[in-house]
Amino acid sequence: MEQDLASLAAAVAELKAGVAATNGTFSETFYFLTIPLMVLIHVGFLAYEMGASRSKNALASGIKNILAFAMIVPFFYFIGWWIYWAFPTGLSGSMGAMEISGFDYATAIAAPWSEYMGPNLDDRSSGVFFGAFVLFAATTASILSGALIERIKLTGFVVLAIVLGAFVWILAAAWGWHADGWLVTKWGYHDFGAAGVVHMIAGFFTLGVLLNLGPRIGKFNADGSANHIAGHSMPMTLIGLMLIIAGFWGFLMGCVIVPGEAWSWSSSIEASIYGTPMTISGMTFNTLMGFAGGIIGAWMMTRDPFWMMSGALGGIISCAAGIDLWYPPMAFAIGFVGACAMPFVASFLERRGIDDAVGAFAVHGFLGFWGVMAVGIAAQGYPAMFGADVVETSFMGQLVGAVVMAVLGFAPGYVVSFILKVTGQLRVPAEAEVLGLDKVKVPATAYPESLHPSVSPAE
């Protein structure tokens, strides 16, 4: 009898080990797949920004986007990932209630010399989590990039992209997108899909830069009226925006904690980054409904294909903070309302002499704010964290979070770009801008056939 019980216990232990290994492999694969999907975001931004540029600037716009991505990766490895784990409770670097934050914890798991920051057979989660967060960081730089096309210096842009992606954004994520984040534990801030910690931060950072960068030559007339400067390929821009939408599924996947052995909460169901329960099924309903509402709203307001596709992105951003919570028709309504307002925000900035070439602030900054506040308006009382007797979401908590994101984004964007402006590293010379950045900065030609006269068949 004892021998049979021992055999049964051994079989159960072996079964549990097999289940744990399967769960670990699934979790690892899940986050690994978010990375190539999020790379599609950058494929989309690449096409979107090159298409929105005039042909004389197409390659220069693409180069700065690609280079910013590459530069963020090592900076995020050496410092950005450490910041996320070090500062959730504030700049003191103390440990929070979940005991997954603070200087000591960050140094143990995220310092470059840590055993978790390289190949380690006992660690199946750090690398893929790191990879997903790097792609979030690169997304903030791509949001910045489009607004500044055709007149920013490459060196100045790379500095701004590194500051935003490897320092500013990840600090916002530590405060509002971490189970120990002070905005979460003290104010009940809820931002599942990063409407505030990614989109607001990048949008308000961009606004600060635009104030110092100034408009493109020829954008405004002497009386202050604006001229439309069309990109050279609307089809490329529309395809790029659709690719961003495709990549957004990876972005939202990276916001999910899937059941696995690498973390202590929610062993049987998916969870938000705060440990609160959600399902990928619900997220799918709401993503598609927000997408549809955004397209319809923007199309009704403008009849412009550019704003229509921007509305698709804007509709999802509008729903993002509460995309784990909404009833699908509510997601449609929130996306619709946000996209209807979006082009008017862009026009408001333009009337004040701000040249946001692709409407980045309207799409990301304003709609990120709308998305955060929508949770405060329509999802009050939801538990903000995993566990019992926890703080709940509220209008005031979301408002505090939104104000923090706006200031944390705008202030460094303005200050760093002002320093670059004073030192002559922000904007290209007027002569280069008029001639075209491809001509003076890129040893290649986007459309070489246009340089030669066509030859008729008779010749």
Q: What is the pLDDT along the chain (459 residues), one digit of tens a residue?
A: 666 656 655 555 555 554 455 566 777 788 888 888 889 999 999 999 999 999 999 999 999 989 999 999 999 999 999 999 999 998 887 887 778 888 999 999 999 999 999 988 778 778 888 988 999 999 999 999 999 999 999 999 999 999 999 999 999 999 999 889 999 999 999 999 999 999 999 999 999 999 999 999 999 999 989 999 999 999 999 999 999 999 988 888 888 888 764 444 445 678 888 888 898 999 999 999 999 999 999 999 999 999 999 999 999 999 999 999 999 999 999 999 999 999 999 999 999 999 999 999 999 999 999 999 999 999 999 888 887 788 999 999 999 999 999 999 999 999 999 999 999 999 999 999 999 999 998 888 888 766 444 444 443
Helix (H) / strand (E) containing 22 = helix 2-52
CA distance 73 to 76: 5
**457: Cβ contacts below 8 Å, ≥ 6 apart:** none
CA distance 247 to 448: 31
How far is residue 18 from each of residues 21, 30, 121, 444, measured CA to CA in Å? 5, 18, 17, 54
**Domain contains 275:** yes
**Domain contains 459:** no
The DSSP code sequence of 163-219 is HIIIIIHHHHHHHHSSTT-HHHHHH----TT-IIIIIIHHHHHHHHHHHHH-PPTTS
Domain of residue 442: give its range: 20-218+228-261+271-448
Counted residue by residue, the chain has a size of 459
**Cα 143 vs. chain centroid, distance in angstroms?**
8
**Domain contains 323:** yes
pLDDT computed for residue 456 by the predictor:
43
**Domain contains 372:** yes
Q: Domain of 52: which CATH number?
A: 1.10.3430.10
**Domain contains 3:** no
pLDDT computed for residue 11 by the predictor:
55
**Domain contains 437:** yes
How far is residue 164 from each of residues 101, 133, 142, 203, measured CA to CA in Å? 22, 13, 10, 11
Q: Which residues of 364-373 are buried (b: 16+ CB within 10 A; e: fewer)?
A: bbbbbbbbbb
Q: 261 with 23: CB under 8 angstroms?
A: yes
CA angle 111, 116, 120 (to 5 degrees): 150
**Domain contains 34:** yes
**Domain contains 455:** no
pTM score, two decimals?
0.91
Query: How many domains does the structure of the chain reveal?
Result: 1
pLDDT computed for residue 257 by the predictor:
82
